[in-house]
Amino acid sequence: MQIEEILDPISFKEFRKEYQGRKFFYVKTKNKDRFSHLYSWEMFDRYLNDYRNVINLSVINPPVNHVSKREDNVFRKGEDDVLKKKKNAFNYWREGCSFVLPFAEYQNEAMVEVCETMEFMYGDGQANIYCSPTAESKSFPPHVDSTENFLIHIDGKIKWTIYKDFWDAKRTKKEHELTVAEEFELSEGDLLYLPKGQYHKAISLSQRISISFHFPKQKKYKGNKFFRPKRDHWYDWEFWK
């Protein structure tokens, strides 16, 4: 896979010059199946039903009577006893909570390939899968990410609000203090790039799956090219085929 396949119709040169680390952009496409091979509801269903082996799971904004002690109001499997049981996680899903599956790239080869394609420019990254069961499912308020972020939309519609404001180490801004740069809707096959530290908010307009490919820092050119990091190889265990 080439990076241009992900950024299309924006060229790699244009991305480096105009956007990287400075300015968000989004691409709306008529090809709704553009990224459909990366994930599906069937994969989500299979993964969550093997609950004993689910290592990373976050539940966003659980009901008020189960409020997490953390400021971000997120339950995490392995840290919060309430998520020890699959039934409890399922009930949160039925109540409209959004789920995050962090470090999910090794669920299939296609996500590993996207990570590898971007890592020559950034170094080690990861794929976080965001899933919501209904319109206006509970999700995060306006916030910033500490990484460069490429959001690929697999299913459903999301209303995005991007703010002009960037993270300031001196203070965290409240929503009423932020200035809206643009609001738009994205759906299957669409791509959104967010530079590190830019405030944003996502609201589900239906059930949705989106994959956020996070990269913590930008690599520098060496000898007029980037060097790829060594990611754990994806092996073809069915070698006889």
In single-letter form, the type of residue at position 81 comes to: D
Q: Find the domain containing 207 and state its range.
A: 3-215
Give the residue, 186 or 61, on which the prediction is more confident: 186
Torsion sign (Cα): 180, 182, 188, 192: negative
Tally the C-alpha atoms within 13 A of residue 20's C-alpha that lie toward its C-beta.
Answer: 18
DSSP 8-state assignment for residue 35: T
- The answer as to whether 63 is a domain residue is yes
- What's the confidence (pLDDT) of residue 103? 95
26-67 confidence digits (pLDDT tens):
999 999 999 999 999 999 999 999 999 998 899 997 765 555
- What's the confidence (pLDDT) of residue 120? 82
For residue 192, what are its two tokens? 């959104």
Cβ within 8 Å of residue 21, ≥6 positions away: 148, 195, 196, 218
- The answer as to whether 21 is a domain residue is yes
- What's the confidence (pLDDT) of residue 64? 54
- The answer as to whether 23 is a domain residue is yes
The count of structural domains within the chain is 1
CATH code at 138? 2.60.120.650
Mean pLDDT to the nearest integer, 90-108: 94
- What's the confidence (pLDDT) of residue 231? 77
pTM: 0.90
Provide the strand spans (E) within the chain. 25-27, 58-60, 74-76, 99-101, 126-132, 148-155, 158-166, 180-186, 191-194, 198-204, 208-215
- The answer as to whether 223 is a domain residue is no
- The answer as to whether 167 is a domain residue is yes
| 199 pLDDT more than 70 | yes
